[in-house]
C-alpha cells in the first residue's frame, strides 16, 4: 500500500513547528502503525534526513508510551493504542495526518513527543495507599466482593497515555483522574485516605492547567482501554462527599 503522510515536525519546545509531507510505499497491511513510521524513518535516515521523533516502548498496548493524533483522532480509528493499530485499518492511497497530543498541560518536546509528567504529579498528589513495605496483613484477611474487585480492576487498567486529554475540547484530565480515584474507592484499602485523595488530586489537576469537564464524553470514545465515563460520575460523587466532609 502507498500512503501520503502529513506529519507535525517541531525541533523543540521553543520553536514553532509545522506539517511536512512524506510518502511511503510497499507497506503491508500487517505492518503496525509504528512499524510504518520505522520504515519512514529508515528512509529519512538513509537520505540524510532527521527521523521523526515519536514516543513508544512496549508496542503491546500496555505501557501507555505511544501517543499520536491520527487524522484528528487520538490513537487513530480503532479502539486501541497506536502501537496496536495496523495499516490494514487504512485504504491504499490514503493521506494520513499525524500530530502530537495537543494540550497546554502536555507541551511538545520534539516532533510528536510530548511531556506528560503532569500525570505523574497528579498521582503523587494522592493516587496511592499509604502503606509502608512489610506492614501488611495477610492478603486473604480482606475479602473483596468480586463485583467490586472487577469494577476497581476496570478502572485500574488505565495506561496513563493521555488520549482522553487529547480528545477533549477542554483538554480535561477527568477520565484519567477518575480512573485512579474510582479504582481506590472500590477497594477497602483505599478507604482511609478517600477524602484527602480526591481533593488533592483534583486540586493538582487544576493547577497543572488541564481544562474542566463539560461532559462531552469524547474521552471515553478515545480511550484505548475503554475506561468508562461512569468513573467520572464516581469522581464527582467522591469529590462532593469529600467537600462536605471537609466543611462539617
Query: What DSSP string runs through 91-114?
Result: -TT-EEEEE----TTS-EEETTEE
Q: How far is the CB of 10 from other proteins (least distance, A)?
A: 11
172 binds ligand FES (CB under 6 A): no
**The binder of ligand FES chosen from 31, 33, 37, 56 (CB under 6 A):** 56
CA 35, CA 43: separation in Å to the nearest integer? 12
Helices 174-185 and 117-124: angle between axes, nearest 10 degrees: 30
Q: Give SS3 for 87.
A: helix
7 within 8 A of 69, measured Cβ to Cβ: no
Q: How far is the CB of 208 from other proteins (least distance, A)?
A: 14
Site for ligand SF4, residues 154 to 183, rule: CB under 6 A: 158-164, 175-176, 179
59 binds ligand FES (CB under 6 A): yes
66 binds ligand FES (CB under 6 A): yes
Strand partners, 18: 9
Q: How far is the CB of 74 from ligand SF4 (least distance, A)?
A: 7
Q: How many residues lie near ligand FES (CB under 6 A)?
A: 12
44 within 8 A of 64, measured Cβ to Cβ: no
Site for ligand SF4, residues 196 to 225, rule: CB under 6 A: 222-225
Q: Which does 136 bind (CB under 5 to 8 A by kind): ligand FES, ligand SF4, other proteins, none?
A: other proteins
Q: Phi and psi of 242, rounded to 5°? A: -70, -40
Site for ligand SF4, residues 71 to 130, rule: CB under 6 A: none
CA 34, CA 75: separation in Å to the nearest integer? 11
Q: Which does 66 bind (CB under 5 to 8 A by kind): other proteins, ligand FES, ligand SF4, none?
A: ligand FES
53 binds ligand FES (CB under 6 A): no
Q: State the burial class of residue 160 (Cβ atoms within 10 Å of its Cβ: 0-12, 13-18, 19+).
A: middle
Q: How far is the CB of 135 from ligand SF4 (least distance, A)?
A: 30
70 binds ligand SF4 (CB under 6 A): no
Q: How far is the CB of 246 from ligand SF4 (least distance, A)?
A: 26
Cβ neighbors of 180 (< 8 A, separation 6 or more) are 122, 123, 127, 155, 158, 201
Q: What is the H or E stretch that residue 151 is in?
A: helix 146-156
65 binds ligand FES (CB under 6 A): yes
The site for ligand SF4 (CB under 6 A) is made up of 158-164, 175-176, 179, 222-225, 227
Contact residues toward ligand FES (CB under 6 A) are 56-59, 61-66, 81, 83
Amino acid at each position: 500500500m502507498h500512503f501520503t503522510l502529513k506529519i507535525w515536525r517541531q525541533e523543540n519546545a521553543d520553536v514553532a513547528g509545522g506539517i511536512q509531507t512524506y510518502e511511503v510505499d510497499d507497506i503491508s497491511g500487517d505492518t503496525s502503525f509504528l512499524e510504518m513510521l520505522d520504515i519512514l524513518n529508515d528512509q529519512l535516515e538513509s537520505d540524510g534526513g532527521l527521523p521523526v521523533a515519536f514516543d513508544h516502548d512496549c508496542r503491546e498496548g500496555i505501557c501507555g508510551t505511544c501517543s499520536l493524533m491520527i487524522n484528528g483522532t487520538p490513537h487513530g480509528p480503532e479502539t486501541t493504542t497506536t502501537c496496536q493499530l495496523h495499516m490494514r485499518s487504512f485504504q491504499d492511497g490514503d493521506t494520513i495526518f499525524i500530530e502530537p497530543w495537543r494540550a497546554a498541560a502536555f507541551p511538545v518536546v520534539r516532533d510528536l513527543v510530548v511531556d506528560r509528567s503532569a500525570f505523574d504529579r497528579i498521582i503523587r498528589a494522592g493516587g496511592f495507599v499509604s502503606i509502608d513495605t512489610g506492614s501488611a496483613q495477610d492478603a486473604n484477611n480482606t475479602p473483596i466482593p468480586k463485583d467490586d474487585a472487577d469494577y476497581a480492576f476496570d478502572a485500574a487498567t488505565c495506561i496513563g497515555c493521555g488520549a482522553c486529554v487529547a480528545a477533549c475540547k477542554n483538554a480535561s484530565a477527568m477520565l484519567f483522574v477518575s480512573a485512579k480515584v474510582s479504582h481506590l474507592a472500590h477497594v477497602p484499602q483505599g478507604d482511609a485516605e478517600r477524602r484527602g485523595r480526591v481533593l488533592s488530586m483534583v486540586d493538582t489537576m487544576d493547577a497543572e492547567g488541564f481544562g474542566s469537564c463539560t461532559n462531552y464524553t469524547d474521552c471515553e470514545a478515545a480511550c484505548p482501554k475503554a475506561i468508562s465515563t461512569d468513573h467520572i460520575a464516581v469522581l464527582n460523587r467522591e469529590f462532593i462527599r469529600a467537600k462536605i466532609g471537609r466543611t462539617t
